Structure 1
Amino acid sequence: MVKKKKILIIDDEKDFSYFLKFNLELIKKFKVYTANNGKKGIKAALRKKPDLILLDVMMPGIDGFAVLESLKENLKTTAIPVVMMTALDQDEPREKACGLYSCDYFTKPVEIEKLIAGINQILSL
């Protein structure tokens, strides 16, 4: 049996996280964990050691850029690929994400087929 890849979703929108989790787990290749804020997301990344993180940019408290920076500065999480997601369809957040170690970026609402294709490419599936 092939080991499922672990994905961590860090997003304050619970309905959106559930939508992603449901669709990703339907494929049977992924085990999906969720965290509804940046602080919990950082802790979950350290505890679960995911193969990939889907990270919302705009969250209350610690935003996605601060979470990304924290993850990339920690030796235990620095190698985990991060895909940024946001409702902002602008170049500035995309450029900031690329400057902070991550150039994988999707605009909400996410087209699930494109997201899955991107995940498969990143994880070489």
Structure 2
Amino acid sequence: MDKIRVLLIDDEPSFTRMLKMSLERRGGFEVMVENNGAYGLTVAQDFRPDFILLDVIMPDVDGGEVAAKIRADSKLKDTPIVFLTAGVSKDTTKAKGNVIGGQKYLAKPVTVDEVIRCIEARLGKTPRVSTGSSPVPKS
């Protein structure tokens, strides 16, 4: 089975390092990290991810702007994007079905299992994974 290629765009290096390591340790994932939102489109064009996790609030550029640029690219426009945010509580996010303003969100802090379930649901495929859940710190 080919690995699921995940692009993680978030300005918190400790968060991205932990999530990348946790997903890759589970198996079935190849994770590329970009900590500067302004480079998100370029990295997406080079990496060609199957799935994108994108922080909403970053100092250099808004996650919505990055998503709009990705959607405008003919080769990336159908790539699923799920936003990550510390600005919305898990209870609020779940009450709204993990969708706010028509966009899929995961509220930080997230567990690796939450991320994997989200990826599986959006892509309709299951990577090879081991058991256990590792929390990923809130950024």
TM-score interval, smaller chain: 0.7 to 0.9
Note the aligned Cα RMSD (angstroms).
1.6
Larger Rg: 2
TM-score relative to the length of structure 2: 0.79
Q: CA deviation at 1:112?
A: 2.2
1:74-121 deviations in Å (ceiling 9; x for gaps): 112101100100101167x931xx2xxxx3210111132122111112
Q: Unaligned regions of 5+ residues in structure 2, if any?
A: 93-98, 126-139
Match of 2:16 in 1: 17
Q: Report 1:6-85 matches (<5 A).
A: 6-85=5-84
Q: 1:104 & 1:22 partners in 2: Cα distance? A: 23
Q: 1:113 & 1:6 partners in 2: Cα distance? A: 17
TM-score relative to the length of structure 1: 0.87
Q: 2:46 & 2:60 partners in 1: Cα distance? A: 21
Instruction: Tell me which stretches of 4 or more aligned residues in structure 1 moved more than 2 Å.
Output: none
1:24-75 deviations in Å (ceiling 9; x for gaps): 1112111000001112211110011000000000001211010011111111
Match of 2:117 in 1: 117
Choose between structure 1 and 2 for higher RCO, CA contacts under 8 A separated by at least 6 residues: 2
Q: 2:13 & 2:56 partners in 1: Cα distance? A: 15
Q: 1:60 & 1:42 partners in 2: Cα distance? A: 16
Q: Unaligned regions of 5+ residues in structure 1, if any?
A: none
Percent of pairs with identical residues: 36
Equivalent pairs, count: 117
Aligned AA for 1:48? F
